[in-house]
Amino acid sequence: MSETRTARFARGLVNVLSGVLAVGAVLGVAAALVLFTPGNNAAAVTEAAPAVTTSTTTATTTSTTTVASESSTTTTTIASDVLGIRVDTPRAYRVGRGQSLDDVASEVGVSVDEILALNGLPDASLVEIGTVLLLPAAADEPATVPAVLVDEPERAALGSVFDRWAEQYNVPSELAKAVAWHESEWNNDAADGGVGIGQLDTALYAFVADSVVGIPLDPTVPAENIHLTVAYLGWLLDATEGDTSAALAAYDQGLVSPRDLVWDEATVEYLSSVLALRPVFDPRSGVEAGS
């Protein structure tokens, strides 16, 4: 994972800087932000189905907000069924051809409002073909607090740090906590190719400090690492206009535009893992982990 982020981060910067003459690094990063064009969350639904972008599809707007059409025929199933991915509580669902959010809600027996709330989506129009949605857990599958947060109060106390910066950068706090838990279990000593709690590359932390936060921060300090991690996630959500799936994929893959995201099995598994953790840290669930 970490090697992929490093390579893609470098490639993203090279692609941006190659089109800009005699411009400093700051303007180069600004150009990278422009590349996050809304609506380019392309995804190959199956191996046989070519990637579809909004430049080659037409969205049909109806009272049920129909999802963009796709030229190839696909069968929509739970992500764990189509890709062999084990998805625990809650379920992850990949949107298929011609589906509306009403269709998905009816099929799985939950409300549209529940799906929107759990996925941090302001409205159903942001759902496209290939979007991976978090579905509410079944009543007999409650979210549970990770044991380490019960046994280690100091680590659990980091939840308030997430809450502080999540509010400032307009990021759902439970989403930021879930991403960081998937990356490191909030362990700032984690070393899986990245640095600290957010497990981002050193160069990416430097970019966030310079261009998003605006002040120097040390990612080896837990509270400052969380600040950088949440700020970056907020930057990705802004750049993708609230598309949680695209923002998470970009977090995993590095500084790339949505048109360059790779929607493969590893990406869907990453999204499924993070989204499955989200209810654990959602105050609406009543679990109150890390808060």
Q: Tell me how far apart the alpha carbons of residues 279 and 275 are, in angstroms, rounded to a whole number.
A: 8
8 A C-beta contact, residue 169 and residue 231: yes
What is residue 22's predicted lDDT score, i.e. its pLDDT? 35
Asked whether residue 170 is domain-assigned, the answer is yes
Q: Is residue 210 part of a domain?
A: yes
Q: What is the mean pLDDT of residues 284-289?
A: 50
Kindly state whether residue 56 falls inside one of the protein's structural domains: no
pLDDT tens digit string along 66-79? 333 232 223 222 33
Q: pLDDT tens-digit profile of 163-196?
A: 999 999 999 999 999 999 999 999 999 988 899 9
Domain that holds residue 13: 2-39+143-285
Q: Which residue has the higher pLDDT, 257 or 22?
A: 257
Tell me, what's the pLDDT at 205?
97
CATH number at residue 278: 1.10.530.10
> How do residues 21-76 score in pLDDT, each as one tens digit?
333 433 343 334 334 433 333 333 222 233 333 333 333 333 333 333 232 223 22
Q: Is residue 121 part of a domain?
A: no
Is residue 151, in this structure, part of any structural domain at all? yes
Q: Tell the residue number behind the tokens 């150009």, with chain if given.
A: 31
Confidence tier at 90 by pLDDT (50, 70, 90): low
With respect to residue 187, please indicate whether it lies within any of the assigned structural domains.
yes
> How large is the average pLDDT for residues 268-288?
76
Alpha carbons 205 and 218: distance in angstroms, whole number: 9
List beta partners, residue 133: 93
Q: Which of 105-109, 206-210, 261-265 has the lowest mean pLDDT?
A: 105-109
Q: What pLDDT score does 104 carry?
A: 82
Residue 92, in any domain of the structure = no
Q: Report the distance separating Cα 218 and Cα 150, nearest Å.
A: 27
